[in-house]
């Protein structure tokens, strides 16, 4: 708005200014330092006069100025610079962004409507493309982590295709979606699609933190919104940018493992009470005798009863087999973009290839992205259009936690073997190199030494998931500006994708010897005694939706009709009334076909199988119609009031509950613009105070979840006989949306000529009608019940401080330091009458008066002092019948520290992040202890020991005496595997705290070395690193506490297991050339 | 101005054009039906009932001395060490029976509203009683009167096991009456995969279940179920021609095999399943059958070189792979019927009731009929010779230290114990907890040095799911010691006399 006013003003001035005879014409182009792109609308003034102009849409200006005059270039959000015209008729100015110039920054807010930041009555934060892409993260979300107070990015696993959650201000909903809404150029889209966006296409990311900020986007934005604006074409002369980055990914953190003991798995032929264990050459567990350096047999004789016996030294390898298994992954990205534009037309074209190999052998992720965006103006008519197409192909092993539960290996009687748990069970003395070829003599399915697990390289080679995602994002916006007080526009957008997955598992053929009693030791091949083979399988999943394999992942078509009335009623009042209607439809359809009984080995087609194929389908449809109004009134620029009202009708709700409305009101006050004492103040440059009160409805109900249904009963149909069985979840047509009511206050302050910025905000939100699927006693008739219950509170503080400690201009050395802190307190106020606790899933609960979700689980039986009670005869602890509340699983405190140092053309940037105040359940620890491979399981040298700090209950009384004499009956297999408390959860619950060096980059801006070049406009080279160091409390010997086996939309978090590969660090280099 | 108003109007017209009537009416689930028929519900629920009987109670088979865990597998702490804790639940009976009951309950409710569906309603009532009896026998007090009301009661309180038993008898009486008065009602036909719509057989099923409820309460001084036996005595009881067998069309196809066969036998490719490799003959049952020269031992277990070898539960095994797996009498074919209520169980129940004088009939004849029916079901021969043995013949005089009735009950339960092997482990365990019989030559306890109890568990704890979902009501049941707590019908005084 302000830009427009300036343009008008400038024109007026031009008409009135006197033109001096000795004037001459100066021309030039103004570009941005950050991306080298021309900037339209820059004010160019002859300093000390009223004479000036503005750059056109290609960043060019032409101005008549007196000889020797100094031109001043200014533009909102950029530092103003002065350039002398002495001896020049062509002046090309380069403007540097000034993120600190508060108030003047224009924010692309809800529905693409631009507001000056000082008019906003709610908390926002901005992330520039430079910050976003400093370390060349392939996923936009990874580029945001640690940079914004209140924004938490959770990378839930470390696969070749990781799951990412973006959460603003912690959890509000007990069980529903707490993810921020992602809005790309005004179009809402699923957060999973971020992985399909080329980060280099992004011009700006604006984060609307609270419910109030996003009220206008409707129920989907009740958890805040991340607004992404993509780059537009500009500049009469085309700008071409080419970038390349190559990064290496290596495992940074392994679980702590024991390196002393070999194979034994509780065979009854060993004496269980003394802890003495014989070495068992075919075991999968490591409770055997200590390593002694002698040669021991491994597995049974190969190929026949009298065959070759593999003998290996019984000594731990220098590098554990787990570390031997993981390799270095490589990511290479190549980007090219083309931008050009003039007053009427502009175009931006980009292409990217990102090629990633994983830390697991043969894992690949290839992304090719193309996009075209343009703008056209003709009189009062204008059109914006964009098309983006991304194809991602992923080739990886079949993980057992795949959404369809397709087995990742040949299924044995002992259950499925998945990759990471197979790797975790490898004993320390195993030389893994000998097993890399799963067809090799000792490594093949028949001869593999382990009777109960399978060679992980067999999974890598033979159980594959190939996925191809095609995503199309298209948008067309037509606008009319028939008069100065009215703009009408219609925005039509469509995003959809097709996700095709194929799971293939090879046939495994076993030799007759291996399936005989002597050859299999009762283990895996013996399970196939009858047929001697495990047939191959193929499953095809075809999903029309958002182009991810998320379930649900909807395609979306949306139409927004907007009328923007901005009449000038008085010179002091600026009014803007937006009226709109939004209709969207989301649709997903999925089909699965497959078989686990392929007839021809290595021929993967469901047409050639024995028996019946597996087939299934499902589709989901959501329709939503909304009407809304948004009134902005600003008085002399220092006092702004905004009011919104929205009505929504949604197909997920029953007809009687379908329509709901919610309002919001926001106020912003800028004293530095009106109070004379504060104007032009050397200390306080800018101050804004704001507050808002908003209410948002949130539908956390899936389609059709208002009526009970029936499923095919187990085993049916038998011939023509059909059978149905009630679904295990109970629904009700009376379900309503959740209602969030949020109060927010905050301030934005700038000091010392904008060198220091301080943002502070406080929010307090209450969520009523929580939509929760509670796990019910099956005696209710159902395992689950979907309900509106109770109320929760989420309240917190956010601080964001940025300061230019040293400015490069003044000191040759520039240092910018930023810090952000967010503290989130959540509390369950009420649940159901007389019910203090509800199970939410994943060992997590909602407990009245406590934060949510709370991790709760089994603990040892303890005396009133909390000491573990052990049996006076066996010395074993037992399991308490009362579960322990361990703590919240979402971080309470999140700190980000960003810093950048610049000297001459070199910039060093770093981002640190801390999270804490939460707990994490490392189920992976239980896998490791089962395998006997964890350091914890060897913490007492496998000898009998007195359980530390334990007590014994005096017979028949409630008194407890310290246990000084009763050692555990068996300090080896007996204690770790079969003692009464061996399955207790508490030893594996650790603090979720961590410090992580998220980003480190060393950038060399080589522009000045190529200044003479005709064809190159810019050149920079950088060394980059992400997640280089992870610091966790000593008790956490397992993994990155950010990892979790919960899904991308899950409200629960903080429970990792062997489905998450170990954390990695990424480092490499990049270069960027601008032509 | 008019121009602009018309532009605005046109815009909104475009926007709302999509909002046709019904545009938002998308409640109907296209993926799963929201309606069912009595036929579909009945068929689905009956097949599930049959699966529960065979799948949910292997631990009782181990504790009862039929089976033990095979030597090549690490002992399951719950089985061999009697290590029953919150996280080591012995079985899933609770979480299988209640969902099964949901379907019967829905069937009962919807059929009650349609006069022509009276037969479905009656079968639902009978099968509810059948399932609830299992719940009480597993857990004692369980939710009953407050169950199946998800919209109003999310945390059902528990009813006493005895009160549930009393009401089950009433429900069975009502079901028998309903069948008798509904001659014109729709016949379930093939959707009744147990009796094919033979409603007279359903009356017998209900009547036999009543008898089981009465016999189970033999230790109680006030046994209302016993008093009620006479009212329906004329209906008769299950016999060989009316055995309750589920047969929806089991076959050697993935997911359609007989549940016992696939769990304890072989998969559709003929490969041994986990249960087959995991469970093998227990020396307790093997010895008892050998004592009686019982030819059925070769049907319950698979001979190794012509002989049956049993292992002791939890014992150190010195000769791996030398014990017998489950035999061909139980594992006949993937298409074999699944037994819900065996004729021999009915025979032995009648024999005991006759011995106690609760019903008319010859206890000795019913006893012999039970043995004969068991032989027939297994495909074994030589029942008559077996029955003629002195050690097997129905007792006519009191054994030393016992009354005549005790002697008769001991004989009946011992033969019932042999007959129930594998097929209905829960029932064998129940009868053992009720009577302490059979006297076993070797104590059915664990030889594992890590065993937490010298004697068998007498009750299993409530499932962990109740701790997480219904703890308030659960906690009212007090602490349950698995080694001393008893189901209401079991009494400590006459239990575990060996």
Minimal Cα–Cα distance from A276 to chain B, Å? Answer: 14
Q: Please say if the pLDDT value at position B219 is more than 60.
A: yes
A790 three-class SS = strand
| Stretch B246-251: mean pLDDT | 95
Subunit contact B26:A704, Cβ cutoff 8 A:
yes
As a whole number of angstroms, the distance between CA B258 and CA B332 comes to 10
Of B8, B35, B191, the CB nearest to A563: B8
Residue of A nearest to B315 (CA): A268
Give the C-alpha distances (Å, rounded to integers) separating A1028 from A127, A140, A249, A728, A1000: 22, 18, 10, 46, 8
Taking CA atoms, what residue in B is nearest to A561? Answer: B15
Residues 6+ apart with CB under 8 A from B360: B233, B354
pLDDT band at residue A1 under the 50/70/90 scheme: very low
The tokens for A754 are 């904008």
Q: What is the pLDDT of residues A1035-1050, one digit of tens each?
A: 999 999 999 888 777 8
How far apart are the C-alpha atoms of A1044 and A920, rounded to whole Å? Answer: 9
Calpha distance B83→A979 (Å, rounded)? 8
* Residue B129 three-state SS: helix
pLDDT digits 0-9 by tens, A52-78 = 787 876 778 888 887 778 888 877 667
What is the structure's pLDDT at B316? 65
Question: Tell me, what's the pLDDT at B497?
Answer: 40
Q: Which residue of chain A has the CA closest to B144?
A: A779
Predicted confidence at residue A185, as pLDDT, reads 85
- Asked if ipTM goes beyond 0.85, one says yes
For A384-425, the pLDDT digits (tens) are 999 999 999 999 999 877 777 777 788 665 556 688 888 888
Q: What is the pLDDT of residues A683-701, one digit of tens each?
A: 888 899 999 999 988 888 9
Per residue in B374-405, pLDDT (tens digit) is 999 999 999 999 999 999 999 999 988 889 99
| Contact criterion met (CB below 8 Å) for A1055 and A1046 | yes
Instruction: Tell me: pLDDT of A5 over 90.
Output: no
Rounded mean pLDDT of chain A?
86
Q: What is the pLDDT of residues B259-287, one digit of tens each?
A: 999 999 998 888 888 888 888 899 889 99
* Per-residue pLDDT reduced to its tens digit, B180-190: 998 889 999 99
pLDDT at position B9: 66
Q: Which residue of A has its CA nearest to B31?
A: A618
CB A562 within 8 A of CB A493: no
User: Is the CB of B27 inside 8 Å of chain A's CB atoms?
Assistant: yes
Asked if B223 and B214 count as a contact pair (C-beta separation under 8 A), the reply is: yes
Name the strand (E) or helix (H) holding B47.
helix B38-55
| Cβ separation A268–B317 shorter than 8 A | yes
List the single residue in B with minimal CA-CA distance to A707: B34
Torsion over CA: A751, A757, A760, A761 (sign) = positive
Please check the confidence at residue A23 and state whether its pLDDT lies above 90. no
Query: Do B258 and B335 meet the contact criterion of CB atoms below 8 Å apart?
Result: yes
Q: From CA A122, how far away is CA A72, in angstroms rounded?
A: 33
Which residues, in sequence order, are CB contacts of A390 under 8 Å at separation 6+? A196, A197, A198, A367, A368, A369, A370, A469, A470, A471, A547
pLDDT at B110 over 60: yes
Contact call for B450 and A730, based on CB within 8 A: no
Q: Which residue of B has its CA nearest to A880?
A: B86
Q: What are phi and psi of A428, to 5 degrees?
A: -65, -20
- Residue A12, pLDDT score: 36
Token code pair at residue B333: 């074919």
Are B11 and A490 in contact (CB < 8 Å)? yes
Interface subset of B 193-212, CB within 8 angstroms of A: 193
Q: A882-909 pLDDT, tens per residue?
A: 889 999 999 999 999 999 999 988 999 9
Residue A165 CB contacts under 8 Å (≥ 6 apart), including other chains: A153, A154, A156, A179, A191, A1048, A1049, A1053
**Number of Cβ pairs < 8 A linking chain A and chain B:** 304
> What are A579's strand-pairing partners?
A563, A629
CA distance B334 to B394: 36
- Closest of A351, A164, A142, A399 to residue A249, by C-alpha: A142
Output DSSP code: residue A710: E
Distance CA B373, CA B241 (A): 10
Share of chain B above pLDDT 90, in %: 63
CA distance A782 to A759: 49
Task: Name B45's Cβ contacts closer than 8 Å, sequence gap at least 6.
Answer: A713, A723, A725, B100, B103, B104, B107, B124, B127
Question: 3-state DSSP call for residue A240?
Answer: strand
Asked if the Cβ–Cβ distance from B316 to A781 is below 8 Å, we say: no
Residue A19 banded pLDDT, cuts 50, 70, 90: very low
Q: Say whether A706 and B27 touch across the interface (CB within 8 A).
A: yes
Contact list, A775 vs chain B (CB under 8 Å): 465, 468-469
pLDDT digits (tens, 9 = 90+) for B65-84: 899 887 656 666 677 778 77
Residue B156 is nearest to which of A267, A529, A780, comparing CB atoms? A780
Instruction: Report the SS3 class of residue A164.
Output: strand
**Torsion from C-alpha of B442, B313, B52, B29, nearest 10 degrees:** 170
What is residue B489's predicted lDDT score, i.e. its pLDDT?
Answer: 93
Of A111-125, A281-295, A532-546, B455-469, the one with minimum mean pLDDT is A111-125
Residue A85 pLDDT: 81
Residue B465: the pLDDT is: 87
CB A796 within 8 A of CB A150: yes
Selection from A264, A272, A276 nearest residue A943 by Cα: A276
Q: Which of residues 304-363 of B touch A (CB under 8 A)?
A: 315-318, 320-321
Return d(Cα B138, Cα B153) in angstroms, integer: 23
Per the CB < 8 A criterion, the answer to whether A249 and A329 are in contact is: yes
CB B282 within 8 A of CB B65: yes
Residue A190 has pLDDT above 80, yes or no: no
B-chain residues near A535 (CB < 8 A): 269
State both tokens at A21.
Answer: 């005879």
How far, in Å, CA of A698 to CA of A640, rounded? 27
Instruction: Name the minimum distance, in Å, from the CA of B335 to any CA of chain A.
Output: 11
Q: Which of B31, B72, B150 sits opposite A521 (nearest CB)?
A: B72
A547-556, A899-908, B13-22, B292-301 — most confident range: B292-301
How do beta strands B244-246 and B338-341 pair? antiparallel
State the pLDDT at residue B326. Answer: 93
């Amino acid at each position: 708005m302000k830009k427009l006013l300036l343009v008008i003003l400038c024109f007026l001035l031009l008409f009135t200014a006197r033109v001096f005879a000795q004037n001459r014409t100066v021309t030039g182009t103004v570009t941005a330092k950050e991306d080298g792109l021309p900037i339209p609308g820059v004010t160019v003034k002859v300093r000390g006069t009223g004479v000036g102009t503005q750059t056109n849409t290609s960043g060019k200006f032409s101005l008549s100025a007196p000889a020797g005059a100094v031109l001043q270039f200014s533009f909102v959000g950029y530092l103003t610079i002065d350039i002398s015209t002495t001896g020049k008729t062509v002046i090309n100015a380069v403007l540097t962004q000034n993120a600190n110039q508060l108030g003047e920054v224009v924010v692309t807010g809800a529905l693409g409507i631009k507001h000056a930041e000082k008019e906003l009555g709610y908390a926002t934060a901005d992330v520039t493309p430079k910050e976003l892409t400093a370390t060349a993260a392939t996923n936009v979300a990874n580029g945001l982590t640690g940079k914004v107070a209140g924004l938490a990015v959770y990378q839930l696993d470390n696969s070749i295709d990781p799951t990412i959650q973006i959460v603003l201000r912690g959890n509000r909903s007990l069980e529903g979606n707490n993810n921020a809404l992602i809005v790309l150029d005004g179009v809402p889209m699923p957060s999973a699609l971020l992985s399909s966006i080329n980060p280099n296409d992004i011009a700006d990311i604006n984060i609307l933190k609270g419910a109030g900020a996003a009220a206008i986007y409707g129920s989907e934005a009740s958890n805040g919104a991340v607004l992404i604006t993509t780059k537009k074409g500009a500049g009469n002369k085309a700008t071409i940018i080419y970038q390349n980055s190559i990064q290496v990914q290596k495992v940074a953190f392994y679980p702590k493992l024991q390196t002393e003991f070999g194979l034994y798995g509780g065979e009854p032929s060993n004496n269980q009470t003394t802890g003495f264990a014989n070495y068992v050459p075919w075991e999968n567990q490591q409770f055997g005798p200590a390593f002694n350096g002698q040669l021991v047999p491994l597995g049974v004789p190969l190929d026949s009863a009298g065959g070759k016996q593999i003998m290996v030294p019984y000594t731990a390898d220098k590098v554990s087999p787990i570390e031997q298994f993981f390799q270095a992954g490589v990511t290479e990205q190549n980007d090219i973009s083309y931008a050009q534009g003039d007053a009427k037309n502009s175009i931006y074209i980009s292409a990217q290839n990102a090629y990633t190999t994983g830390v697991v052998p043969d894992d690949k992720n290839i992304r090719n992205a193309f996009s075209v965006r343009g703008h056209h103006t003709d009189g009062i008519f204008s059109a914006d259009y964009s098309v983006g197409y991304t194809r991602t192909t992923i080739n990886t092993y079949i993980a057992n936690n795949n959404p369809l539960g397709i087995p990742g290996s040949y299924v044995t009687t002992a259950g499925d073997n998945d990759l990471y748990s197979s790797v975790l069970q490898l004993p320390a003395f195993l030389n893994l190199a000998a097993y890399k070829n799963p067809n090799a003599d000792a490594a093949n399915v028949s001869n593999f030494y382990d009777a109960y697990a399978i060679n992980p390289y067999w999974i890598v080679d033979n159980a594959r998931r190939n996925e191809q995602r095609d995503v199309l994002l298209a948008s067309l916006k037509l606008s009319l500006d028939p008069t100065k007080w009215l703009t009408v526009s219609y925005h039509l957008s469509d995003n959809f994708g097709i996700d095709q997955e194929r799971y293939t598992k090879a046939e495994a053929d076993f030799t007759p010897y291996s399936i005989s009693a002597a050859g299999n030791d009762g283990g895996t091949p013996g399970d196939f005694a009858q047929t001697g083979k495990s047939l191959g399988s193929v499953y095809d999943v075809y999903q029309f939706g958002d182009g991810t394999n998320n379930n649900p992942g909807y395609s979306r078509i949306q139409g927004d009709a907007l009328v923007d009335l901005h009449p000038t009623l008085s010179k002091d009042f600026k009014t803007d009334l937006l009226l709109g209607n939004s209709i969207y439809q989301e649709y997903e359809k999925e089909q699965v076909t497959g078989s686990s009984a392929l007839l021809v080995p290595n021929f993967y087609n469901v047409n050639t199988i024995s028996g019946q194929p597996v087939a299934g389908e499902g589709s989901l449809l959501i329709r939503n119609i909304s009407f809304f109004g948004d009134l902005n009134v600003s008085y002399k620029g220092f006092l702004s009031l905004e009011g919104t009202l929205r009505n929504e009708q949604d197909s997920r709700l029953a007809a009687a509950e379908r329509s709901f409305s919610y309002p919001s009101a926001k106020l912003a006050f800028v004293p530095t613009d009106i109070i004379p004492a504060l104007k032009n103040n050397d200390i306080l440059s800018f101050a804004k105070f704001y507050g808002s009160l908003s209410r948002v409805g949130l539908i956390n109900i899936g389609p059709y979840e208002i009526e009970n249904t029936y499923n095919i009963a187990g085993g049916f149909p038998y011939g023509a006989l059909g059978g149905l069985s009630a679904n295990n979840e109970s629904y009700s047509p009376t379900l309503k949306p959740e209602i969030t009511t949020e109060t927010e206050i905050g301030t934005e302050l700038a000091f010392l000529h904008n060198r220091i910025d301080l943002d502070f905000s406080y929010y307090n939100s209450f969520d009523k009608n929580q939509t929760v699927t509670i796990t019910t006693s099956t005696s209710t008739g159902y395992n689950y019940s979907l309900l509106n219950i109770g109320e929760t509170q989420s309240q917190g503080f956010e601080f964001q401080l940025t300061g230019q400690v040293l400015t490069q201009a003044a000191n040759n050395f520039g240092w910018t330091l930023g810090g952000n802190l967010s503290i989130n307190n959540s509390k369950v106020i009420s649940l159901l009458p007389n019910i203090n606790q509800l199970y939410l899933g994943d060992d997590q609960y909602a407990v009245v008066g406590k934060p949510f979700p709370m991790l709760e689980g089994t603990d040892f039986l303890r005396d009133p002092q909390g000491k573990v009670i052990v049996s006076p005869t066996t010395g074993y602890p037992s399991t308490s019948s009362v579960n322990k509340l361990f703590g919240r699983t979402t971080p309470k405190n999140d700190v980000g520290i960003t810093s950048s140092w610049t000297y001459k053309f070199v910039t060093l940037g770093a981002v640190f992040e801390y999270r804490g105040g939460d707990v994490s359940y490392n189920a992976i620890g239980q896998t490791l202890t089962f395998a006997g491979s964890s350091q914890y399981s060897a913490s007492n040298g496998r000898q009998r020991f007195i359980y530390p700090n334990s007590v014994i209950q005096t017979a028949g009384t409630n008194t407890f005496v310290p246990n000084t004499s009763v050692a555990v009956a068996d300090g080896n297999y007996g204690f770790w595997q079969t003692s009464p408390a061996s399955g207790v959860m508490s030893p594996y619950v650790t603090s979720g705290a961590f410090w992580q060096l998220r980003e480190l980059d060393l950038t060399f801006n080589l522009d000045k070395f190529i200044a003479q070049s005709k064809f190159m406009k810019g050149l920079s080279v950088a060394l980059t690193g992400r997640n280089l160091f992870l610091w966790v409390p000593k008790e956490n010997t397992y993994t990155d506490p950010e990892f979790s086996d919960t899904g991308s939309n899950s409200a629960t978090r903080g429970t990792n297991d062997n489905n998450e590969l170990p954390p990695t660090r990424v480092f490499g280099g990049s270069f960027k050339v601008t032509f | 101005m008019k121009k602009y108003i018309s532009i605005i109007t046109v815009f909104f017209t475009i926007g709302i054009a999509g909002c046709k009537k019904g545009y938002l009416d998308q409640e109907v689930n296209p993926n799963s039906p929201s309606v069912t028929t009595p036929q579909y519900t009945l068929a689905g629920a009956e097949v599930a009932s049959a699966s529960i009987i065979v799948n949910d109670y292997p631990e009782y088979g181990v504790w009862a001395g039929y089976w033990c865990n095979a030597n090549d597998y690490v002992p399951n702490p719950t089985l061999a060490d009697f290590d029953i804790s919150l996280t080591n639940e012995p079985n899933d009976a609770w979480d299988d029976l209640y969902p099964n009951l949901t379907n019967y309950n829905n069937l009962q409710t919807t059929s009650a509203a349609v006069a022509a569906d009276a037969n479905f309603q009656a079968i639902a009532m009978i099968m509810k009683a059948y399932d609830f009896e299992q719940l009480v026998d597993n857990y004692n007090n369980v939710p009953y009167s407050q169950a199946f009301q998800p919209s109003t009661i999310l945390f059902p309180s528990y009813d006493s096991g005895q009160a549930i038993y009393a009401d089950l008898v009433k429900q069975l009486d009502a079901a028998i009456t309903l069948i008798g008065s509904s001659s014109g009602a729709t016949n379930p036909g093939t959707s009744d995969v147990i009796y094919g719509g033979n409603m007279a057989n359903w009356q017998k099923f209900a009547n036999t279940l009543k008898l089981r409820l009465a016999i189970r309460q033999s230790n109680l001084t006030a046994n209302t179920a016993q008093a009620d036996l006479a009212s329906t005595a004329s209906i008769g009881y299950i016999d060989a021609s009316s055995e309750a067998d589920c047969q929806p069309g089991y076959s050697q196809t993935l997911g359609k095999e007989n549940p016992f066969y696939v769990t304890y036998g072989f998969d559709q490719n003929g490969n041994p399943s986990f249960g087959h490799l995991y469970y093998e003959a227990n020396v307790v049952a093997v010895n008892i059958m050998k004592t009686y020269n019982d030819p059925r031992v070769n049907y319950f277990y698979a001979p190794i070189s012509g002989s049956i070898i049993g292992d002791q539960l939890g014992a150190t095994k010195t000769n791996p792979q030398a014990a017998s797996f489950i035999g061909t009498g139980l594992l006949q074919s993937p298409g074999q019927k699944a037994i819900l209520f065996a004729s021999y169980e009915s025979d032995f129940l009648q024999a005991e009731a006759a011995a106690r004088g609760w019903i008319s009939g010859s206890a000795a004849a019913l006893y012999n009929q039970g043995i004969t029916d068991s032989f027939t079901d297994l495909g074994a021969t030589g029942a008559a010779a077996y029955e003629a043995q002195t050690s097997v013949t129905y007792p006519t005089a009191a054994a030393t230290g016992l009354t005549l009735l005790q002697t008769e009950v001991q004989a009946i339960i011992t033969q019932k114990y042999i007959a129930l092997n594998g097929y209905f482990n829960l029932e064998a365990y129940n009868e053992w907890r009720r009577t302490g019989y059979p006297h076993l030559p070797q104590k059915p306890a664990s030889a594992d040095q890590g065993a937490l109890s010298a004697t068998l568990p007498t009750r299993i704890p409530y499932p962990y799911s109740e701790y997480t979902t219904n703890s308030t009501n659960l906690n009212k049941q007090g602490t349950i010691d698995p080694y001393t707590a008893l189901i209401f019908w079991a009494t400590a005084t006459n239990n575990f006399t060996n």
